[in-house]
A and B are shown apart, each in its own frame.
Chain A
Amino acid sequence: MRAILLFLSICCVSIKAQISEYIYPYSNVPIISNYGTTGLLQVPTARMHEEGTISFSWSHLEPYLRGSIVANPFDWFEASYQYTDVNNYLYSTVKSFSGSQSYKDKGFDAKFRLIKETNLIPEIAVGFRDLGGTALFGGEFIVASKKLGNIDFSVGMGWGTITGNSVSNPLAELHDRFKDRNLNSGDEDSVGGEVNYGSFFAGEEVGVFAGIEYFVPRFNGLRIMFELDPTNYNAEAYKPVAQDSDFNFGIVYPVNKNLFLKLGYIRGNTLNFGFTYTNSIGGKNPIINKKPKLREIKNSERFKRGNELDRYNLYRSSLKFLNENRLYLQTAHLSEDESKLSVSVIQPTYHSHPIAIGQTSKILDQLAPDNIESFEITMANGNQPMYKVTFPRKDFNTYKEANLPYALLSTTKFEDISAAEVQMHEFKPRAIFPVINSKFSPSIRSQIGGPDGFYFGELMLAHHASVVFSRNLELTSNINLSILDNFGDLKLASDSVLPHVRTDIVQYLKESKGLHISNLQFNYFNKIGKNIYTKTSAGLFESMFGGVGGEILYKPVLSNYGIGIEAWSVKQRDYDQMFDFRDYSVVTGHMTLYFQEPRSRILFKLMGGRFLAKDSGLHLDLSRSFKSGLRIGAFIARTDISYAEFGEGSFDKGFYFSLPIDIFFSEYSKPHTGFGLRPITRDGAAFLIHSHRLWNVTDSATKSDLIFDWGDIYD
């Protein structure tokens, strides 16, 4: 009886939970607080977005305007970047430097979920606000959130600037280290930007906060928020802000599942408006649903009969129909006993290789005589065969009917393949070189947040081209024509004591009006041995450097790791970004270790060597990739220069995300667009940017990636 009651109560909870999604729509999507992390108005909560979510928020609360980008590489970790306009303080007191522009502050926040909510236990998270930098809004908090019915309660404790409703710091009783909050790092040459670990959770007092989020039933997801504000308005930023009440309240209205509008009344004296746009884009086809469009072969049986008579008919018909589906056949071979058909294919369309493998197999299955028992498909990139996949044809079709892609894995073999093996294939269609790809597109380059003004930008017409001269040699180019810009008002000159390898950005922006070349690069690719790939390049690699050099990568096929070495002799380009060079030249190079953890899909990239400003050190990059092709990552670099030599920011750091463009379209395509954020552009730890890094060219040949995407084979 008890078991039945338990079962019924579980069912009731489950059904109620489902109905609640209609009564309180979008209540499972947390919004971004005015400080740029998930929370209420001013108060943080322990809530997190789904992993693979990217959010943007903007809020106006005098004297601050704040824009934030928030990324969730995991559902337990949130990283955010804030850009704040502090409009009660000037950028600088020197009018000739920044005019009457208000102060701009950039900051990083991080939040970690410690405990996930259960029926009895609240969700608990710890957060770090305005890490490093000037720490104008710096603080830490620990917060618990529990949902009861349609009310989400949060209570917490804050340090740093979150100490408005102060009580004694309980941690100070545990250890002396927590008694004194020293906001300086202690380094004599500190220029801000370093993370001051010693101050975490320290200080004589802490603030206590609480808040509720009430989801109004049957009101299109409207929420009412009420909170006890812990902010110490005398401690944050540069000037105290008047506070007439410790309580804030506001409403949030979801326009749809992505866009939330917020109106609040803060400090008992100030109206607050803002919005949050949030989108979970890590899953398969997160925005536009799409399916690969495979042209059906009419009269397939007739083809099969013809192909049975002459194997060259089979090769030629495979070439025709694969090419029509943008699967470019490079070689084909029928085994002596005619039981196995091998093909090698290049495909420029799908991030997910199993889609291309599945499409190739479906076409071959319609053309191959019935006596062919297995397909061996080699995926190649340029002239470099990456790996081959072999499976029985019968299993492919059996599991296709049942739509059981992972069952096919039991009889699928993944293997290395050498260029020589592919060259032994019987059928090698002649490629006609050169192959020219060319396209025009609008392009924008921006400079945000300098002392000369908030935004400087340029609209350009960009021409991207690649000319493939042979299977090994290609030329890539990116040539831009300026159409409209406001760079004329940029004045900021570099104050760097290092060679100005990046900080002359203003001159590059201002003097490259009209036609300028961002990239003009020859690449020669080769696979010189088992698992060893090379690239030799010469040209104008990026807007600031050109020269010659190369890269060599050892990556065992289908493995999750690689080791790369690159060396470049480069010269700084002239500011007009045409063919002239400046005097500065450098030999730069790195050894890079790559490791992709298969379960979390985190790529660890550790780069050590000599950077463009002739400083030496390490650059660590951690990023996570998602099913959609989204990648979210962060990096940090330390070299043998002091904080003072590096300048503002102390060392290089930042985070980025890279979006596959095809998530916005109904057609598949491979290009990505990126968005990188670093607090400030400095010269230290800067490395050369060059197209077609070998890891990026070969990382599709990673078994864990293939298995991760294997569910797509029957798409």
Chain B
Amino acid sequence: MCIFLVCACTTIPIGYLDTLGTAYKSLRNYPGTEIDKDYYDGFQYSFIRAQFSGAPPVILVLSKVENNEFFWVGSDGSTLTTNQDGKIIKTEGINRDIEFISTGKKKYKLNLFNPDAFYQPYEFNLTESSYTNINYLDSEILVMLKEEEFYSKIIGWKNKNRYYYYEGRPIRTVQNIHPYLPSLRLDFYYK
């Protein structure tokens, strides 16, 4: 559908220079910075701020939307694909990548890379929705929170993901995408 250019590094403030593929290996407890209105206004295209827990944040720009799947690209070429709920269904270039294979409506198998473990069962349950306030673009907004508990039986991996929705669209998610990676927070900024 729509094609956007990946913004050049020089337009990104210093704090965002690290690339997603390596950011999680950086110093823990990096303070990070939130996206403010000025920064948002400076962007021409939709983007996400991605931050592994304790690592520097990274900006990825929306490159295309196809079949309700959103393709986000980082300055190093690493990509995230999210579905319309904001769930990450594929990563590329993060060193430890993942890919969900759809096996039916809301049914998935999970491919894990490095180490490789393919076609792992993946069961998940969405909890009841609740409402909460979050800070977003310099202001506090009321959002709907959904929690997702998942379990991958063979490897015994279970955890919880959180999705925050505003006006029906995901604006923040905190997801555990790989057993060897810290949780990844995504903030969505639409244009």
Residues of A within 8 A of B (CB): 15, 17-19, 21-23, 25, 217-219, 285, 287-289, 291, 293, 296, 666
Given the interface contacts A217-B156, A218-B155, A218-B156, does A21 sit within 8 Å of B25 by beta carbon? no
Closest to A17 in B: B115
In Å, the complex CA distance between A18 and B115 comes to 5
At the interface, yes or no: B3 with Cβ under 8 Å from chain A? no
At the interface, yes or no: B117 with Cβ under 8 Å from chain A? yes
> For residue A22, which residues in chain B have a CB less than 8 angstroms away from its CB?
112, 115, 117, 155-157, 179
10 A–B pairs (Cβ distance < 8 Å), ordered by A? A22-B115, A22-B156, A22-B179, A23-B154, A25-B180, A217-B156, A219-B156, A289-B22, A293-B17, A296-B10
Q: Identify which of B26, B116, B157 contacts A15 (C-beta below 8 A).
A: B116
Q: B3-41: which have CB < 8 Å to A?
A: 9-10, 17, 22, 25-27
Given the interface contacts A288-B27, A289-B25, does A23 sit within 8 Å of B156 by beta carbon? yes
Given the interface contacts A25-B179, A289-B22, A296-B10, does A19 sit within 8 Å of B27 by beta carbon? no
Q: B142-187: which have CB < 8 Å to A?
A: 154-157, 179-180
| A18 and B116 within 8 A (CB) | yes
Q: Closest CB-CB distance, B112 to chain A, in whole Å?
A: 7
In Å, the complex CA distance between A219 and B118 comes to 20
> For residue B117, which residues in chain A have a CB less than 8 angstroms away from its CB?
15, 18-19, 21-22
Q: Closest CB-CB distance, A469 to chain B, in whole Å?
A: 36
Residues of B within 8 A of A (CB): 9-10, 17, 22, 25-27, 112, 115-118, 120, 154-157, 179-180
Closest to A23 in B: B155
> For residue B179, which residues in chain A have a CB less than 8 angstroms away from its CB?
22, 25
Q: Closest CB-CB distance, B108 to chain A, in whole Å?
A: 17
Closest to B113 in A: A18
> For residue A289, which residues in chain B have a CB less than 8 angstroms away from its CB?
22, 25-26
In Å, the complex CA distance between A218 and B9 comes to 42
In Å, the complex CA distance between A285 and B21 comes to 14
> For residue A291, which residues in chain B have a CB less than 8 angstroms away from its CB?
22
In Å, the complex CA distance between A85 and B14 comes to 50
Q: Closest CB-CB distance, A362 to chain B, in whole Å?
A: 15
| A666 and B116 within 8 A (CB) | no
Closest to B14 in A: A293
Closest to A20 in B: B115
> For residue B9, which residues in chain A have a CB less than 8 angstroms away from its CB?
296
Closest to A293 in B: B17
In Å, the complex CA distance between A19 and B17 comes to 34
In Å, the complex CA distance between A33 and B188 comes to 49
> For residue A25, which residues in chain B have a CB less than 8 angstroms away from its CB?
179-180
| A288 and B156 within 8 A (CB) | no
> For residue B156, which residues in chain A have a CB less than 8 angstroms away from its CB?
22-23, 217-219
In Å, the complex CA distance between A293 and B75 comes to 14
For the complex of A and B, list the 9 residue pairs with the smallest distance between their C-beta atoms, beginning with the closest: A218-B156, A22-B155, A289-B22, A18-B115, A21-B115, A289-B25, A19-B117, A18-B116, A23-B155
In Å, the complex CA distance between A601 and B17 comes to 35
In Å, the complex CA distance between A186 and B127 comes to 77
> For residue A23, which residues in chain B have a CB less than 8 angstroms away from its CB?
154-156
In Å, the complex CA distance between A350 and B187 comes to 36
Most buried by B among A217, A287, A666: A666
| A288 and B26 within 8 A (CB) | yes
> For residue A666, which residues in chain B have a CB less than 8 angstroms away from its CB?
26-27
